[in-house]
Structure 1
C-alpha cells in the first residue's frame, strides 16, 4: 500500500524512482575551470531555445557560473560514469578535468566525447531554498550520432534501451 506521509525520506525515495540523464555543467572563470555533475537538467522552451539546470548554492561552480554567464551542459554517455563520479566529488576540483577529452570553445571547457554539448548563455538565476535554478539560452549544440546517455535512477547508474512495441491487431 502507498504511504500518504510526507517526510524528507519519503520524498527522497519517491525521487529515486525518477530516471534522470547525467550531465556535467562546465565553465571557466578567472583562468580556472569549474565543473559539477547534475541530474536536474530540463529543456525549457523552443522560443527562445532554452534549458534549465538546478545547482546547489553551496557548490564550487555556483558563483563562477553566475559571474561568467557562459557555460556548457555536457550530456554524458553511458560509458562515462567515471567522469560523473569525478565531478560529483570523487576527485579534488583541480583534478576533475584530468578525466575525459576536455577542450575549449570560446573559453568554455567542454567534453568533446559527450553524448551532447549545449553551449549556453545565462539568462536568469532564480534562488529557491538550497538551489539556484539556472536558465540558459542555448547558443550552440553538438551531439553524437548514436543515442546512449548515462542515466541515474534509484541511487545508481542505469542504461537505456529502446522498447519494441507490438502492433495491435
Structure 2
C-alpha cells in the first residue's frame, strides 16, 4: 500500500477513538476533509419560472455509460428543497475569476440571479455566463447521506470552455491551478 498522510499523535488518538465506535470530533473531520481540494459549482434550477441556485463543493462525475454526475446538498438547504421537485438542474462549474459568484450563491438571498448574467439551457435550467462548464441534468436518483442527500443526475447536455481555469477550494480558501 502507498504511504498515508502523516498524522499527529492527537489525530491518531482521535482516529482510533472513532474506529472503536466513539464519537468523531467534528472539528477534526472538517480539518481533515478540508485538506481535499475540490472544485466549486453552482447548482441551479427553475422554480415556477424563477431561477434559483446554491453553491456546492461536493460534486463529482459518477459514470461514463450512462453519463451520470453526483452532488450532495445539505438537508437544511432551502434552495435545494425548491429545485428538487422540478426534476432538472444545471451544474455550473465556476471559473477561477468567479469567487464572488461562489460567495453570492452561498448566501440566503432572493436576488442572486439579478447580479449574475445567465441564460436558459436546453433543460430550462439556468446556465451562468462565464462558467468553465455547464452540465445539465435530470434527477436520476436521490439517496440519504447523513445530514446531506446524494443526488445522482443523468446528463442531458453539457458545454465546457477549455480556456477557463476552474475555481478551487482547499482548507477554507479559494485557489486556482498554476498555469
TM-score by length of 1: 0.89
Residue equivalent to 2:153: 136
Q: Is the 8 A contact 1:66 1:125 kept in 2?
A: no
Residue equivalent to 1:165: none
| C-alpha RMSD over aligned residues | 1.4
Distance 2:174 2:115 in 1: 18
Does 2:108 correspond to 1:63?
no
| Structure 1 unmatched runs, 5+ | 163-169
Cα shift at 1:66: 1.7
Q: Is the 8 A contact 1:24 1:73 kept in 2?
A: yes
Count residues with an aligned counterpart: 160
Q: Which runs of 4+ in 1 moved over 3 A?
A: none
2:36 to 18, 29, 35: 18
Structure with a larger share of its residues in strand: 1
Residue equivalent to 1:81: 99
Q: Is the 8 A contact 2:138 2:156 kept in 1?
A: yes
TM-score by length of 2: 0.85
Q: Is the 8 A contact 1:34 1:60 kept in 2?
A: no
| Structure 2 unmatched runs, 5+ | 1-6, 15-23
Residue equivalent to 2:117: 101
Structure 2 residue matching 1:97: 3-state secondary structure: helix
Distance 1:63 1:155 in 2: 26
